[in-house]
Amino acid sequence: MLPHQKGPSSASPLATSVSASKPFNATAFRRFSTLLAIKLLKRFRKYEGSVLMLTDKICVKYGPHMQLSEASTMHFISENTSIPVPKVICAFNHSDQTYILMERIKGDMIARGWAKRGEESKAKLLLQLKAMILEMRELRPPDNMGVASVDGGKLYDCRISGPSYFGPFDTLQDFHRRLRMGVDFDPRLDSDVQNLIKQQDSTWPLKFTHGDLSSLNILVRDDDIVGIVDWETTGWYPSYWEYTTAYQVNPQNSFWVNEIDKVLDPMPKELEMEQIRQRRF
């Protein structure tokens, strides 16, 4: 057991001062129609992860692990940027599950056939992605916003140790303390953990962050990016978070590490810091 190890802190004042996402366009008719469509079609229509393709133009993402903030995020991005995201038709909670009915973007994951693409095609797509990320990072958080989802509520990331839902946090220090499971500085700690805590005491600006810019979440048609999807890990995070989470690739996405520095400003010190945290916590 590491010295000075604490459990995750209780919810910060931010959690009570900012309300969570609300249902979106959730009329009784839309709720009933969505639930009925799922009941009738789930045995016949295709699933992609937690997304059921109801028709060629409409899909529904649902499950107990989801939050309404994902719908709020897509609406926020569509209202404030030119980034292509699924248009949310309605979003609501029912029987401990969240449902997001949205338009279906027709496109292939950028991962599909990447190795066979010519260099000019790759460069064109990466340039588009870089412009979209820059546009997202130019968004500014509301006054007094901490590390939180788009609406100031809880964050979600299944890659973080402990509960997948966590926060929100008033300060970066609170956020980093949660990432290292409550461990505070102590000279008896291993040197790499001491250095990690010292590094995490630095300051970074908050940036709006997708948090999972995997090649599996970028949709393309020919040489055009037509959609960025899966916004459940999004929030206002320290500026390095987009870069370091992009490196957390899965086996289907292993080639993507070679492209990250072409679309995001390299942050090698922060990447090393995060890799130490992942090893130790």
Query: What is the per-residue pLDDT across 175-201, written as a single tens digit (0 to 9) for each?
Result: 999 999 999 999 999 999 999 999 999
- Rounded CA gap, 101 and 49, in Å? 15
The verdict on residue 10 lying in a domain is: no
Does residue 14 have a pLDDT over 70?
no
H/E stretch holding 165 reads strand 165-166
Does residue 156 share a domain with residue 77?
Answer: no
Last residue of a domain, one of 103, 120, 152: 103
Output the pLDDT for position 161.
Answer: 85
- Percent of the chain whose pLDDT exceeds 90: 85
Which helix (H) or strand (E) segment holds residue 275: the answer is helix 268-280
> Is 83 inside a domain boundary?
yes
Q: What is the pLDDT of residue 233?
A: 96
Tens of pLDDT along 117-128? 999 999 999 999
pLDDT digits (tens, 9 = 90+) for 245-272: 999 877 778 899 999 999 999 999 999 9
Q: Which CATH number is 222's domain given?
A: 3.90.1200
Give the per-residue pLDDT at 212: 95
Of 103, 132, 154, which residue is a domain's last? 103
Better-scored residue on pLDDT, 4 or 80: 80
Identify whether residues 205 and 273 lie together within a single domain.
yes
pLDDT band at residue 7 under the 50/70/90 scheme: very low
Residues of the chain above pLDDT 70, percent: 93
Could you say which of 103, 134, 154 is where a domain stops?
103
pLDDT tens per residue across span 112-153: 999 999 999 999 999 999 999 999 999 999 999 999 999 999
Asked if residue 1 belongs to a domain, the reply is no
- Looking at residue 49, its pLDDT comes to 84
Q: How confident is the model at residue 277 (pLDDT cuts 50, 70, 90)?
A: very high
* Same domain assignment for residues 120 and 179: yes
CA distance 211 to 225: 18
The pLDDT, as a whole number, for residue 19 is 46
Average pLDDT over residues 207-216: 96
> Do 224 and 137 lie in a common domain?
yes
Query: Is the domain of 124 the same as that of 198?
Result: yes
Cis geometry, peptide bond prior to residue 168 (ω within 30 degrees of 0): yes
Please check whether residue 5 lies inside any domain of the structure. no
pLDDT band for position 11 (cuts 50, 70, 90): very low
Judged by DSSP in three states, 264 sits in: coil
Q: Tell me, rounded to whole angstroms, the distance of Cα 267 from its chain centroid.
A: 19
* Residue 185 placed within a domain: yes
pLDDT of residue 252: 75
**pLDDT, tens digit, for every residue of 58-103?**
999 999 989 999 999 999 999 999 999 999 999 999 999 999 999 9
Domain-located, residue 172:
yes
Same domain flag for 33 and 122 = no
Residues 27 and 164 in one domain: no
87 with 149, same domain? no
Is residue 9 very low, low, confident or very high in pLDDT (cuts 50, 70, 90)?
Answer: very low
Question: So what's the pLDDT on residue 248?
Answer: 87
Instruction: Output DSSP code: residue 217.
Output: G
Q: Give pLDDT, residue 249.
A: 78
Instruction: Average the pLDDT over 13-28 and give the result.
Output: 69
Domain range for 180: 108-280
Count structural domains, the chain.
2
Q: Look at residue 206 and give its three-state secondary structure.
A: strand
Asked, for residue 13, whether it belongs to a domain, the answer is no
Q: Can you give the pLDDT at residue 162?
A: 87
The Cα 169–Cα 184 span in angstroms is 17
Instruction: Let me know whether 43 and 151 are in one domain.
Output: no
